[in-house]
Structure 1
Amino acid sequence: MEDQVPKPTSKRRDSSEATDPPNKRRRIALACSACRTRKSRCDGARPRCTLCTDLGFECVYVQSASSANVIVGKEYLSQLEDRVQSIEETLNVFREHITTLSQTARVVEIIPRSESDGTIVENAQLQEVTNEQDAVDGMGAAVFANEEESGFFGPSSNIAFLRRISRAVAHTVNSDQPWTPLTGPDSAHFDGGFMSVSRPSSPSRQSKPEEQINIYALPPESQTLSIIKRYFSDTGFLYPFLHEESFVQTYMQMRRKHPSGVRKSWLGLLNIVLALTTSTTVDDGLKSETRITESNIFYQRAMGLCFNQIMRGTSLEIVQYLLVMGLFLQGTQKSIQAWTAHGLAVKAAFQLGLHSKEASRSFPPLERELRKRAWYGCIILDRTLSMTFGRPATIPESYVKLELPEPFENPSSSPAEYSHKQDSVGFFSATIKLYKVMWSIIDSLYGQNISCDQSSRVEDTIPRLFNIERELSDWERALPQNLRLQSSQDVLVNTTGTAANGNIRCESRLVTILTLRYLNVRLLLHRPILIKFLDTSGKTDEDSHELTMLQQIGSNSIQISMQSAIDIIGIVHAAVHAAGRKGGLLGAWWFSLYYTFNAALVLFGCLLVCRTANKTALTTLPTKDSAKMSLEKAVEALEILDHGNRMVKLRNRRKGLCNKLGQAIQAPIAGPRLPAPVCSNHL
């Protein structure tokens, strides 16, 4: 009986064995810090364990340094891989940057010119930029070549003026054709706008070995010091925004010590000074082609040294470098680069606060004065390029708030040296004031070189012209005694008997250059009236209201224009013919070239107006014979201004064409017809 009755306990054991056995507790390799501190059971879940998630604690797993069985999660490894990849990418960037620097930051070599010209570096891309020539030179004149390119040249440019003359010549040649009013889109085209001009073919990207140069080479010490001295007695005297003593001292320190310790920006400034001085020197016995080649080598070295720095523009040295470069590029076939260099200089000046008196207050007196002069250098270059290219000025006159420059304080300087510096600063200040009048002219009479689609009426133009003429008269009366303007006869007198007296020669040179600048500004002032005569001289009596106004009040402007043009040509002619002093009374040859060419264009336009004098009743004008003689003098002067210079040859050929056309214009109306119309690109 007992064997047949099952025990309850056996029944419970059988049911328990029929179910799954309970799971054993999983042993984790590492508990989080929070669970270990609380001595709680951690389930090891990543990135946060369940307990920390429920309680809102920060869950951090810290591996013991002595642990032998380390278990690392995949997510943690992925994070490490991402970090390593990021570090490798950063190192690759630095490695490429260091490689680039190692190719350029080589030890400066001080070697003679004969050796430096043949030194080879990897600089082909830089040469392609610096050697490139534009279809328009740095003074705003178009040349012929193959490719087409467009550029904006507004009302004050010679290109816009040439369009007006070309149209008047075309009407004179085809006098039987009806006069077409200059309105609508055509008016904008002739007043200024985009002009397609020819452009030289692009240079080959494969630079020849003999064209490569060492951007770190310099001429011998004696030659370099001679060029530096010439700069500060010439361009640096006319534009005194560099300090001569500091500049020479830095150069001598570079020679005594290792040159690699000199700032690249200063070394670039030195090279652009050498380039400008070499280009402006026409009486050193070098041929024009040789001189231009050598100056271009210095220019390429300067670009190679400062190409990256000029994009940052974070020092006064860079602004000075860009200003000297802007002056240099005006004498080259690099108009685009001249405009770009000026824009960079102005932006850097604003960035450094050169326009602000408060921003310069904390600097020492010398640097404060240099900052001021650099700012006014930007203003002068801005007005010059605005006039020549016919483009809006970058610096409005309302931004000019600083006092005028003053001589540098130097207790050790002698009275003669201080007087010499006073002359330089006085000339610089007089130019600043004169170019303030130029700003008013472009602003009032040329629509700021923006409103090319609108032409003001005579009754609106004349009052503005008279007001600015009064400003010019006030400027002339305020000139100090040693800067009084002179005539071409005065230039002839000053070319004799002054060679032995350096001070008299220096003063004569300042007066000559200032007179040319004044006369050129006066031509710019009265040119709008000449343009109106050219535009209305072919109209019939039925539409003669504008012509009547010109007859009453405009003939005086034609007279002033002709006389100013004759004076400019006479001064340049007398200066370049001075015995043993070729160009000694003039500034850079390209400015003399611009003034002479512009004056010849105005004379040509006046002769074209005089051809119809029986219709316009122009009287009391200089004789046509004197105008013709001036055109001949212009051609003669430019023949010796700079022998072999390509820019001079091009404009002299065009001026010779003006001379021939001027002779034809003097013929009676019923006489022989003029030559074919002259397009702006040919002039």
Structure 2
Amino acid sequence: GGGGGEKAAPTGKRRRINYACDYCRSRKTRCDEGQPSCHACSAAGIECVTRNRRQPWLDVRRHEAGRVPNQGSTAEGRSRQQRQEDEPSAVGTHSARRVSYSSLRAEDDDPGAETSRQPGAVQSENDRPEHSARLPIIQIDSGNTPLELMTSWLDLARHRLRIPPAGPRPRAWSARNSLHANDMGGSPNEWTLPRSLGTWEIPEEGVLLSLIDSFLAGPNVLLPLLQPEKIKHAAHAASQDGPNAVAQQSGLPVLMQMYLVLVLGHAAQPLHPEPDFDAQGCLKYSESLLGLILQQSTLEALRAVTLLSMALRCHDNLAAAGHTMSLAVSMGVALGLPRYSARLPPGEERRSTWMSVFAFEKLLSFELGRPSLIPDDYPELIPDTIVTGAAQRQLASQPVFEIVLSLAKLLGEVGRWCVQVSRKEDDRSDEAMAEVVREKVRTTGLSCLKLMEWASDVCPSRYRPTSDLFFDSRLHPFTSFIAMQYHTAMILVTRNSLLISEKAIRLAVDVIAKDEPWESAVRNGQSIAVNSARIILRLFLESSELASCAALPSLSSPLHAMGVLAVFAVTRPGSRMSGMDRELLKTA
């Protein structure tokens, strides 16, 4: 019966496709399933993308409904990979730099993957995203030299014109070496430290492990940049064979990461610092490696530069931290992370790296009073409040990172509003100043309202910055960091109200903020600033007494708080509260 039914089926019946490409789906036209691009996308000159909208991080293989992918094509793909392994190829170093996210992720999860990587793990040239049907006017590329940048366009031209590869390819530079170079930032033997720099002495093993554990339990929880197994492996190699061996085996970016991990681990335990480790000297040495690191646009180099910015902030060099972070953002854009990270599953290494860069850059830009260098907020990277499946489990395992990321996104938005108003104030004439004042009041009130709403929605509630902080040695480094960042933001937004008379504030409320949802924030701006300053200083003093500190410490928040309380005490000399504030300032 089953066979007869198949013969009786009409030959003209149209086949149903499981996944049409996004472009054809948007135009409501039938997709011809062309590979690597359908005809409609090729004609339009755009990238042919097929996405599973329910699970956008999964690769989609288009095929006829009711049928599994052709086994013959799978076998053919395996044989093609075998030929690529056995035969020389004309693709040079630059062409082999790009690898599939899935293959890299699978290898990175296995500490022993270094010895088991195969050339077949490298993406086929026809599968590479930059070799799709789209033709960008200016192509973002991660090449380092002019030759690599030019070769990238020639690769695209060869693919578009269907020119077969020809010519010998040196066996010494195989796909395996290319994969290793892309991940680590160059071929292993390529990295040698200049004699003029020398090396920074690695502390003894006990101190080394203590600092690494402090980093992994603190800063790396806030911003999960590094895989614990990798950095521990590099530290063990440095302890056994010396820093030069790490640079040659794993790459100079990994060596720089290890040094900065020690600096950040030391900063996360300032009340009981390791006496045998010179954190300031190690940071200075790491800064001297920056020029060498910038010679490569790689993921490991991006992590090293981001860690350097974090370490500079912890040592209160905010200007240098901001400049260094701008380099990290530029490297991330060159690597294409803003485009591809949203398609990767939660917790994937490259996605976590870009989200960490995104979060720290937003926090730092707001602190410096600068517009963020990342103009797009990438809403797809910030999970919705309702998530399911693997995403739910991943978020449950990283509540601190999720809270920091959402706060960074909000501060980026608030910072953009404030910078726009300041620019208008600089450009407007005296006649239009009344409109600027109105917008400043509105921006201040709306920013306060948004921050308060965020604080009330923080979940789990134990991380909420407005609730009483009960000391828990495991949670205190994170709750104090979140509270410090939140209350510092409230101070920066509202502290100017201390410089305005109460009569002017009442007038602004009656004329501008009347019946607005943010009316209360404008009316009580002075109290908000002063109360946030008190909370920061009390938290700072409690941390000192309890032998704890923020996971990513900085003196910026306490100094802002001291400035606000000092102004409040001076402008209200007869107030009882100002007397208490003076005592709090003396104690701090």
Q: TM-score, normalised by structure 2?
A: 0.56
Distance 1:343 1:475 in 2: 27
> What secondary structure does 1:282 align onto?
coil
Q: 1:243 to 1:633 in 2, by over 3 A?
A: same
Q: Does the Cα contact within 8 Å between 1:354 and 1:371 map onto a contact in 2? A: yes
- What is the aligned partner in structure 1 of residue 539 from structure 2? 571
Indicate conservation of the 8 Å contact 2:572/2:578, yes or no. no
Deviation at residue 324 of structure 1 after TM alignment: 1.0
Aligned counterpart, 1:54: none
Give, in whole Å, the separation in 2 of the partners of 1:326 and 1:535: 43
Structure 1 residue 634 corresponds to structure 2 residue 585: yes
Q: Does residue 546 of structure 2 align to residue 587 of structure 1? A: no
Residue 355 of structure 1 contacts residue 401 of structure 1 at CA under 8 Å; is this kept in 2? no
SS at structure 1 position matched to 2:314: coil
Superimposed CA distance per residue, residues 565-605 of structure 1 (whole angstroms, 9 cap, x where no aligned partner): 22222222222223xx2xx1433442xx2212112222333
Q: Give the stretch that moved more between structures: 331-340 or 236-245.
A: 331-340
The alpha-carbon distance between structure 1 residues 505 and 424, as it changes in their structure 2 partners (threshold 3 A), is farther
Contact preservation (8 Å) 1:241, 1:320? yes
Equivalent residue for 2:462?
483
Mapped pair 1:319 → 2:283: no
* Residue pairs, 1:594-673, within 5 angstroms: 594-608=556-570, 610=572, 624-637=575-588
Q: Provide closer, same or farther for how the CA distance between residues 446 and 535 of structure 1 changes in structure 2, counting only shifts above 3 A.
A: farther
- One of 442, 446, 469 as aligned partner of 2:415: 442
Letter in 2 for 1:464: T
Contact 1:346-1:378 at 8 Å conserved across structures: yes
- List aligned pairs for 1:133-212, cutoff 5 A: none
Q: 1:394 aligns with which of 363, 373, 388?
A: 373
| Alpha-carbon displacement from aligned partner over 1:501-543 (angstroms, at most 9, x marks no partner) | xxx4222432232222222222223234344449969xxxxxx
**Which runs of structure 2 are paired with 1:202-351 in the superposition (5 Å)?**
214-215=198-199, 217-252=201-236, 259=246, 260-284=248-272, 294-312=278-296, 314-332=297-315, 334-351=317-334
Change in Cα spacing, 1:103 to 1:252, as seen in structure 2 (3 Å) is closer
Q: Which amino acid aligns with 1:356?
A: R
Q: Which residue of 1 aligns with 2:362?
A: 383
What's the CA shift string for 1:428-462, capped at 9, x where partnerless? 21122122222232222342764561566554334
User: Residue 400 of structure 1: CA displacement?
Assistant: 5.2
Q: Supply the distance in 2 between the matched residues of 1:606 and 1:594 (Cα, whole angstroms).
A: 19
Once the two structures are superposed, the pairs formed by residues 17-36 of structure 1 within 5 Å of their partners are none
Q: Which residue of 2 aligns with 1:431?
A: 404
Aligned twin of 1:355: 338
In structure 2, the residue matched to 1:513 is: 481
Distance 1:557 1:549, change over 3 A: farther
Identify if the C-alpha distance between structure 1 residues 535 and 608 changes in structure 2 by more than 3 Å, giving closer, same or farther: farther
CA change 1:104–1:466 in 2 (3 A) is closer
In 2, Cα distance between equivalents of 1:315 and 1:405: 30
Rounded to whole Å, the distance in 2 between the matches of 1:448 and 1:346 is 25
CA displacement 1:46-67 (0-9 Å, x = unmatched): xxxxxxxxxxxxxxxxxxxxxx
Deviation at 1:472, TM superposition (A): 2.4
* 1:376-400 per-position Cα deviation (integer Å, ceiling 9, x unaligned): 2222332233233322221124455
CA-CA distance at 1:263 after TM superposition:
1.2
1:254–1:448 distance in 2 versus 1, CA, 3 Å: farther
Contact 1:487 1:567 survives alignment (8 Å) = no
Given the superposition, is the C-alpha separation of residues 434 and 102 from structure 1 closer, same or farther in structure 2, using an over 3 Å criterion? closer
Once the two structures are TM-superposed, the CA of residue 561 in structure 1 deviates from its matched residue by 1.7
How far apart are the structure 1 equivalents of 2:287 and 2:373? 24
What CA distance in whole angstroms lies between the structure 2 residues aligned with 1:547 and 1:600? 28
The separation in 1 between residues aligned to 2:443 and 2:288, in whole angstroms, is 47
Could you list the runs of 5+ residues in structure 2 that have no partner in the other structure?
1-187
Task: Name the SS of the counterpart of 1:330 in structure 2.
Answer: helix
The match for 1:105 is 192
- Displacement of 1:295 after TM fit? 1.5
Contact persistence 2:337–2:350 (CA under 8 A): yes
Amino acid at match of 1:122: S
> Are positions 1:369 and 2:348 aligned together?
yes
Amino acid at match of 2:583: E
Indicate if the aligned counterparts of 2:214 and 2:265 stay in contact, CA closer than 8 A. yes
Instruction: Give the partner amino acid of 2:259.
Output: N
Counterpart contact for 2:421–2:440, Cα < 8 Å: no
Contact 2:222-2:400 at 8 Å conserved across structures: yes
What letter matches 1:299 in structure 2? L
State whether residues 465 and 525 of structure 1, in contact with CA within 8 Å, keep that contact through their aligned partners in structure 2.
yes
Post-superposition offset of 1:326: 0.5
CA contact (8 A) 2:316 2:556 kept: no
Change (3 A) 1:628 1:262: same
Alignment of 1:466-477 (within 5 A): 466-477=445-456
Task: Give the superposition deviation at 1:266.
Answer: 0.6
1:558 aligns with 2:526: yes
Q: CA 1:400/1:253 → structure 2, altered by over 3 Å: closer, same or farther?
A: farther
Which whole-Å CA distance do the structure 2 matches of 1:569 and 1:226 have between them?
29
Inter-CA distance 628–375: structure 2 relative to 1 (3 Å threshold): farther
Q: Is the 8 A contact 1:356 1:402 kept in 2?
A: no
Instruction: Provide closer, same or farther for how the CA distance between residues 277 and 484 of structure 1 changes in structure 2, counting only shifts above 3 A.
Output: closer
SS at 2:458 equivalent: coil
Counterpart amino acid of residue 444 in structure 1: W
CA displacement at 1:223 relative to structure 2: 2.5
Q: Secondary structure at the match of 1:506?
A: coil
| CA distance in 1 between partners of 2:448 and 2:367 (Å) | 21
**TM-score for the superposition, normalised by structure 1:** 0.49
Q: CA deviation at 1:546?
A: 5.9
Q: 2: distance between equivalents of 1:432 and 1:308?
A: 30
Cα distance change of structure 1 residues 222 and 567 upon mapping to structure 2, 3 Å threshold? closer
State the 1:278 CA deviation: 2.5
2:408 corresponds to which letter in structure 1?
Answer: Y
Q: CA deviation at 1:228?
A: 0.9
Q: 2:196 aligns with which of 98, 122, 128?
A: 122
Q: Is 1:524 matched up with 2:492? A: yes
Note the residue ranges of structure 1 that are not aligned, 5 or more in a row: 1-100, 108-120, 124-213, 412-417, 496-503, 538-543, 612-622, 638-683
Q: Give the superposition deviation at 1:325.
A: 0.6
Over 3 Å counting, the alpha-carbon distance change for 1:279 and 1:511 in structure 2 is: closer
Is the contact made by 2:481 and 2:553 (CA closer than 8 Å) also made in structure 1?
no
Q: Which has the higher contact order (CA 8 A, sep 6+)?
A: 1
Change (3 A) 1:318 1:467: same
Name the SS of the counterpart of 1:242 in structure 2: coil
**C-alpha distance in 1, partners of 2:489/2:193?**
48
* CA 1:355–1:624: 2 relative to 1, 3 Å: farther
Q: Report the residue type matching 2:410 in the other structure.
A: V
SS in 2 for 1:356: helix
The 5 A counterparts of 1:77-88 are none
Cα 1:596–1:300 change in 2 (3 A) is closer
Q: 1:261 to 1:545 in 2, by over 3 A?
A: closer
Letter in 1 for 2:489: V
Identity of aligned residues (%): 17
**Displacement after TM superposition at 1:336 (Å):** 4.1
Q: 1:535 to 1:262 in 2, by over 3 A?
A: farther
Residue 231 of structure 1 deviates from its aligned partner by 0.8
Contact 2:260–2:308 (CA<8 Å) still a contact in 1? Answer: yes
- CA drift at 1:371: 1.8
How far apart, in 2, do the equivalents of 1:534 and 1:215 lie?
59
